[in-house]
Structures are given as structure tokens and as C-alpha cells.
Amino acid sequence: MHITVSSSDKNLDSEHHTFEQPSLLLKNRIKSPEAQSKLKILRLSDSVLNCHCVSPPATMYLRKRGDYIFMVNHYEHGQHLQNCPLYSDIKGCREAVNRDISP
């Protein structure tokens, strides 16, 4: 799993930095103090995560819900490969809607 970090401000020509511990983003570790500490710093700098399981990379924003920071897939540019550990259905995404209404 290759994850990079970049600015969410499209007006900035920001560099993409590798997220060195992508396993912290998995469901069983994302609530850990170590993961939350890293995600808090990224969220405060208005960064986004990019998963390179697809090209172009799937974009994930950081959102706080309760006491924790989680990743939210971009509604249009956040679709991961189904075998990616970060895959989830995106509500309202065209592929999910078409899959739900197919006979």
C-alpha cells in the first residue's frame, strides 16, 4: 500500500510526501494514539492522503468524528481497487449506484 500526502489546496504546487506508516490507516489501527497523532498533524495542515492502488491516486480527506480523525474518500476521485485494504463503497458514487440498480 503506497500512500502519499499533499496539500488539499489545488492552487499550491505542493510536493507529495510518502506516508511512512500506511498500516496505521487500517481499520484495526486508525484509532491508536500513534495514528491519531499523525492524522491530527496532517489535518491541521489541511493535507489530503492519496492511495496509489489506482492511477490517478484515490483521494482521501481527513475528518474529525467524535474523538477521532478518520479518512473520507473523495466522492468522485476516491475510488480504490476492491482488493485495496482502504477500499470502501462511496455513497453516491456512480459505480456504486449502477451496481445497486443492476438486475
Secondary element (H or E) of residue 33: helix 33-44
The answer to whether residue 10 scores a pLDDT higher than 80 is: no
Which single residue is written with the C-alpha cell 506508516? 21
pLDDT over 70 percentage in the chain: 81
Q: What whole-number distance in Å separates Cα of residue 68 and Cα of residue 53?
A: 25
71-86: per-residue pLDDT in tens? 999 988 999 999 999 9
Enumerate residues 6+ apart whose C-beta is below 8 A from 91: 75
34-51: per-residue pLDDT in tens? 999 999 999 999 999 999
Q: What whole-number distance in Å separates Cα of residue 47 and Cα of residue 9?
A: 8
Domain boundaries, the chain: 3-101
* Average pLDDT over all residues of the chain: 85
Q: Across the strands, what pairs with 70?
A: 63
The answer to whether residue 96 scores a pLDDT higher than 70 is: no
Range 82-93 average pLDDT:
84
Pick from 21, 57, 52, 53: which is nearest to 39 by CA? 21
Secondary element (H or E) of residue 41: helix 33-44
Q: Across the strands, what pairs with 7?
A: 47
The pTM (predicted TM-score) of the whole model is 0.79
pLDDT for position 91: 72
* 7 SS3 class: strand
